[in-house]
């Protein structure tokens, strides 16, 4: 089949039923909303229904099994014995269906995800391409009019720019948070009109061959008051501290602490409420996690975001985010766009 399947086989004893669609893509290169893989030490079986069967037959190294539309119920009828399953992906009703078919179900968490966390060179090349596109989009965004337009209108500009620069799709719904909207880390762009003298948080990325980029920059729409400018300087210092700290074999919590310490020693203590970053690849959020409550250890060829922020409810938010590859001695920063406080009109 491929090296990815071989590496998975080294982690399992009983056959593993893979139902997470992104994990099916990773292992077999097959994209479908209704498919499952069964991986054992001898073979890989790909189960899907009539709508996808022709595409499935083009996949090399798998035995294709056509099922009725209800793949899970078909598996309950066709399989027997001890079967591992992805505990974080199988909903309870599907678990009941499989168990009702007489299967001895063994839960597993994060087996394929742990493989996905360490990128192959081919994957890194794709992510570099996605980041190069995102660099160009953010550069062009500095020429877009902000003041007097709504957050939603600027979000549509981002969609257009990613399309024009070669992105195959948006990695997620772009965040455009101006003034108090930016104080919500995952704010949705609204019909609020952007004013002068505000901070605007822009969080956006694209996909290339299924792999995502994820950048955040905070722009100013004119001169800022002292508090907003100081917050930006503190977040930038925290981000640089986090970037400088990261290297392979370190506990991910230590990377988080390197950045968090800068904010906790500032007037904005207690206002950095999320983790420093997360893995990036086929999903926008994947392993490893860099936060205050993680046991993950960074490894060479992890791709992670580094994105400290501070958020003052009712006032503004600041976040600065780069995408980086973890190396033995540090990082390869894939993000080329500038980090000084850029003023937009």
CATH number for the domain spanning 250: value is: 3.90.230.10
My answer on whether 172 and 219 are in the same domain is: yes
Give the percent of the chain with pLDDT over 90: 98
My answer on whether 130 and 160 are in the same domain is: yes
Among 100, 116, 132, residue at a domain's last position: 116
Among 116, 135, 159, residue at a domain's last position: 116
My answer on whether 16 and 126 are in the same domain is: no
What is d(CA 306, CA 278) in angstroms, rounded to the nearest whole number?
A: 8
DSSP secondary structure string, 11-69? T-SS-EEE--HHHHHHHH----SSEEEEE-SS-EEEEE-GGGHHHHHTSTT-EEEE--S
The one-character DSSP state at 143 is T
Q: Is residue 10 part of a domain?
A: yes
My answer on whether 166 and 110 are in the same domain is: no
**Domain ranges, residue 54:** 3-116
My answer on whether 111 and 128 are in the same domain is: no
pLDDT at 25: 97
pLDDT at 142: 97
Q: Which two tokens stand for residue 65?
A: 């099994």
**Residues 163-222: pLDDT tens digits?**
999 999 999 999 999 999 999 999 999 999 999 999 999 999 999 999 999 999 999 999
My answer on whether 165 and 263 are in the same domain is: yes
Q: Is residue 85 part of a domain?
A: yes
Q: Over range 276-304, report the average pLDDT.
A: 97
How many structural domains comprise the chain?
Answer: 2
Q: Over range 1-24, report the average pLDDT.
A: 94
Length of the chain equals 345
Model pTM?
0.94
CB 66 within 8 Å of CB 46: no
My answer on whether 61 and 197 are in the same domain is: no
**Residues 73-95: pLDDT tens digits?**
999 999 999 999 999 999 999 99
My answer on whether 64 and 175 are in the same domain is: no
pLDDT at 284: 97
CB 18 within 8 Å of CB 30: no
Q: Is residue 343 part of a domain?
A: no
Q: Is residue 56 part of a domain?
A: yes
- Looking up residue 12, the CATH number of its domain turns out to be 3.40.350.10
My answer on whether 128 and 206 are in the same domain is: yes
Q: Is residue 338 part of a domain?
A: no
What is d(CA 75, CA 163) in angstroms, rounded to the nearest whole number?
A: 40
Q: Is residue 344 part of a domain?
A: no
Among 61, 87, 116, residue at a domain's last position: 116
Q: Is residue 91 part of a domain?
A: yes
pLDDT category at 40 given cuts 50, 70, 90 is: very high
- Beta bridge partner(s), residue 18: 37
User: Which residue blocks in the chain are alpha helix, DSSP H?
Assistant: 3-9, 21-28, 53-57, 71-78, 92-100, 111-116, 121-141, 151-165, 226-245, 252-264
pLDDT at 2: 83
Give the percent of the chain with pLDDT over 70: 100
CB 8 within 8 Å of CB 39: yes
Mean pLDDT over each residue of the chain, to the nearest integer: 96
Q: Is residue 150 part of a domain?
A: yes
3-class secondary-structure state, position 20: coil
My answer on whether 149 and 289 are in the same domain is: yes
Q: Over range 247-259, report the average pLDDT.
A: 98
Q: Is the pLDDT at 258 greater than 70, yes or no?
A: yes
Q: Over range 105-130, report the average pLDDT.
A: 97
**Residues 44-56: pLDDT tens digits?**
999 999 999 999 9
Q: Is the pLDDT at 1 greater than 60, yes or no?
A: no
What is d(CA 200, CA 318) in angstroms, rounded to the nearest whole number?
A: 8
My answer on whether 322 and 213 are in the same domain is: yes
Task: Using alpha carbons, select from 274, 269, 272, 299 the residue that is nearest to residue 287.
Answer: 299
pLDDT at 46: 97
pLDDT at 272: 97
pLDDT at 30: 95
My answer on whether 43 and 146 are in the same domain is: no
């Amino acid at each position: 089949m491929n090296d990815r399947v071989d590496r998975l086989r080294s982690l399992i004893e009983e056959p593993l039923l893979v139902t997470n669609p992104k994990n099916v893509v990773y292992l077999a290169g097959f994209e479908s909303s209704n498919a499952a893989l069964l991986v054992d030490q001898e073979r890989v079986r790909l189960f899907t229904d009539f709508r996808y069967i022709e595409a499935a037959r083009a996949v090399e190294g798998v035995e294709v099994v056509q099922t009725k539309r209800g793949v899970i119920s078909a598996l309950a009828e066709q399989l027997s014995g001890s079967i591992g399953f992805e505990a974080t992906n199988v909903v309870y009703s599907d678990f009941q269906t499989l168990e009702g078919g007489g299967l001895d179900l063994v839960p597993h968490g994060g087996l394929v995800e742990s493989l996905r966390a360490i990128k192959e060179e081919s994957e890194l090349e794709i992510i570099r391409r996605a980041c190069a596109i995102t660099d160009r989009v953010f550069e062009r965004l500095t020429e877009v009019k902000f003041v007097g337009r709504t957050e939603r209108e600027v979000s549509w500009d981002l969609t257009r720019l990613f399309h024009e620069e070669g992105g195959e799709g948006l990695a997620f719904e772009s965040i455009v948070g101006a003034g108090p909207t930016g104080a919500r880390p995952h704010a949705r762009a609204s019909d609020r009109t952007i004013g002068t003298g505000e901070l605007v948080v822009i969080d956006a990325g694209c996909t290339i061959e299924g792999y995502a980029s994820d950048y955040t920059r905070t722009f100013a729409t004119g001169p800022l008051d002292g508090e907003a400018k100081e917050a930006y300087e503190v977040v930038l210092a925290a981000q640089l501290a986090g970037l400088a700290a990261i290297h392979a074999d370190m506990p991910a919590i230590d990377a988080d602490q390197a950045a968090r310490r800068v904010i906790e020693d500032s007037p904005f203590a207690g206002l950095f409420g999320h983790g420093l970053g997360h893995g990036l690849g086929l999903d926008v959020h994947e392993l490893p996690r860099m936060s205050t409550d993680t046991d993950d250890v960074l490894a060479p060829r992890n791709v992670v975001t580094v994105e400290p922020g501070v958020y003052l409810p009712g006032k503004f938010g600041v976040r600065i985010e780069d995408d980086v590859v973890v190396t033995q001695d540090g990082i390869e920063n894939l993000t080329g766009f500038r980090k000084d406080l850029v003023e937009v009109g």
